[in-house]
Chain A
């Protein structure tokens, strides 16, 4: 094993007199780059603490408020006034409404709006929460969570909510098979 001997010879001047169960220790200095890495990390830590807790850079809640404000500012402009809604009657809008309905509504209101164990019939003239365009739009938007109706404003844009409102209202009087018994008040 002359390889080993050579190594030990070369390092003889660094060898301490320590001997623990045959383990020796060299007196090499700490690697320079290691020391600088340590110093740098200490500087980082100091700057970090000063930046946020002395110079008052944004903490997490300020960060959040800014993020929300930015999202609000970038929100697509609403094309219509929610306080003054009118039914869409063009075929394109109704088709779009039908697609949204098929994807989201049939589980509780039936394929043709006939209603089922969970949701009421949407094709008759009886309404639990009002049958005007403003009322239907509103219930779609904010829902009735305790009864199981979701608030769709978190998943649908205002245009989409109006499209599906218009589609639902277009089902009035369609009288599909297996229609659920009327619930709520008669709206003429």
Chain B
């Protein structure tokens, strides 16, 4: 067989690695700001651009898609070429991918600061950027598949199985969850409403964790861990079983984000059952990683790279046990909406993704710059700072979550809530928010040491853009050879492999989402539930713009402790006109689903809302809610009303049926103004002088609508 000479593209790897570092610093810095804001509300700066509701999605998206995203591409571009003994398929595609992805990140940061968001967690980007993501992701897949098809190694290694599953599934998830109807150049409504929107969102959200934060990083681990330890993979068979089990089962578990909500019971139960079945497949990855280190533990002591990897894999094992436990309904009834979830995801993000990325970078820089790491000692310090940071981050939040959830649920012997005032339960855990800032700061200092260390390493070494390599040409026989295992054969057939993986990941989602459309009884309609008025619709969009759903849920679960605090539990039929749903996933403030029920436990007057949005601390000195003074200054943009009404009508909201007059979009603003004047006049009676064309009027109108429909039924 003739030997062929070629070169690996190291330059693209270098660029992705630098991008990983840069966005890691940015994303974690924004995270620190978010943490500070929860501890001390003055850090919201009373500025629209810097309130927590806008900062939080910048943090999550930057860490997931910018830091980890570039981490994935660093790993794929480095390992794929070497595992397949070929250069990337197309340098041009590589660079379009690189710059395209960075442009998406920058556009994300800008639009979030401006309050342009869909409200759907980890899918907050609006439709033009969604399209850009799709195009760049396809370019990435094309480049990857082109490389696979041109390979000089017959079999695909387990890392590449994970990369393929990642590519296919993220494409399916992203497109599936982002189907939306634009009503302007930067805004849209999702085609799904209420329960279905929630189900699709968490099918996406859960599997973004699975196929963006987990599977590609398992691929990364399978390459860099044995490389750094110079040890063989513990069990080939285990990798086959845990790979297929993981990708098949993961897709089903999304509903565990919606336990005890208005989601049909059967879907919730599937979420529980499949989450429990995920423990072993997840641990399969952890153990294949840890057992690969057998006989190499002495190296772990000396190598920061391996230390980071060991803790990363252990953190992975911890969160993949904790996750299924939190999916048990009784555990979930305690942990959901609390900081437990925040602590849980940070074990995953700081431990698994962060530490594995650091381990990879400490391995890659000396390798690619052909030198030794500038300082092992600094890397070790980074390791300990990072580990301490994680502990100081997570423990206070776990503790705070337990305290708060027990306070929410405690009743006096007279049968009243022991802490009827939600704020009392927040004040109690604010010290934990302070401690969390400390943890985050430690972790960040560690990161900074790494940046310094790696830059020093780079200046010390010499970088080769195109690394020379050679390998024999590949002559692959597509037929299964006698004695060749079925999976061994499949590993030589990338197209078949991809098709099979696609089938595996499509089953769960289809089984859970389709029936909610076909079975009428899954979402029983409620006659008294009516579409929002134009003013309320505008107010709702401001609620979304300001990210109110980041801290306020709109989903009263069927527990005595919640119905006593908020009012009647939420029903599926209430949300049929909610494009998108705003159920929320965290209660930093109280639930708002029953905010507008006249005579309800949460009911507030117009003037209360006005003063509260203007300056929450003036009403409750201990409140940690940001102030929204610009809502009072800024005029409501009503030019968008007709387009919004038309979009909603197209999505099935009956603005085109009785009692609405024909062509309602054209006259909707008349109704809007009328309602705004009513609210303004009521405010005037309470001594508040504000004109009816301000944004705050729309927000108040929306808040007063929440839960009103089902209360008028009686």
Contact = CB atoms under 8 A, between A and B. Distances in A.
A75 B236 contact: no
A28 B237 contact: yes
A59 interface: yes
A186 B484 CA distance: 100
Interface string A18-34: 10111111111111001
Nearest to B157: A20
B298 A28 contact: no
A61 interface: yes
B603 interface: yes
Contacts of A46: 273
Contacts of A154: 416-417, 420, 564, 601
B364 interface: no
Given A30-B237, A154-B420, A24 B83 contact: no
A135 interface: no
A99 interface: no
B455 interface: no
Contacts of B287: 31, 34
Interface string A143-176: 1011010010011010000000000000000000
Contacts of A155: 416, 420
Nearest to B268: A60
B232 A24 contact: yes
B318 to A, nearest CB: 16
A37 B273 contact: no
Interface string B243-259: 00100000000000000
B269 A4 contact: no
Interface stretch (A48-56, A86-94, A123-131, A177-185): A48-56
A64 B232 contact: no
B566 to A, nearest CB: 11
A74 interface: yes
Contacts of B232: 8, 11, 15, 23-26
A4 B560 contact: no
A71 B560 contact: yes
A8 B245 CA distance: 30
A20 B415 contact: no
A16 B274 CA distance: 33
B487 interface: no
Contacts of A145: 598-600, 603
A60 B570 CA distance: 12
A28 B284 contact: no
B527 interface: no
A128 B82 CA distance: 84
A44 interface: yes
Contacts of A30: 235, 237-238, 241, 284
A10 to B, nearest CB: 8
Contacts of B234: 26, 28
Nearest to B155: A18
Contacts of B135: none
A67 B601 CA distance: 20
Nearest to A6: B295
A34 B283 contact: yes
B227 A146 contact: no
A23 B569 contact: no
Contacts of B226: 23-24
> Which 7 A-B residue pairings sit nearest by Cβ, starting from the closest?
A7-B295, A45-B273, A38-B280, A64-B558, A24-B232, A20-B157, A28-B235
Interface of A: 3-4, 6-8, 11, 15-16, 18, 20-31, 34, 37-38, 41-42, 44-46, 48-49, 52-53, 59-61, 63-64, 67-68, 71, 74-76, 117, 142-143, 145-146, 148, 151, 154-155, 157
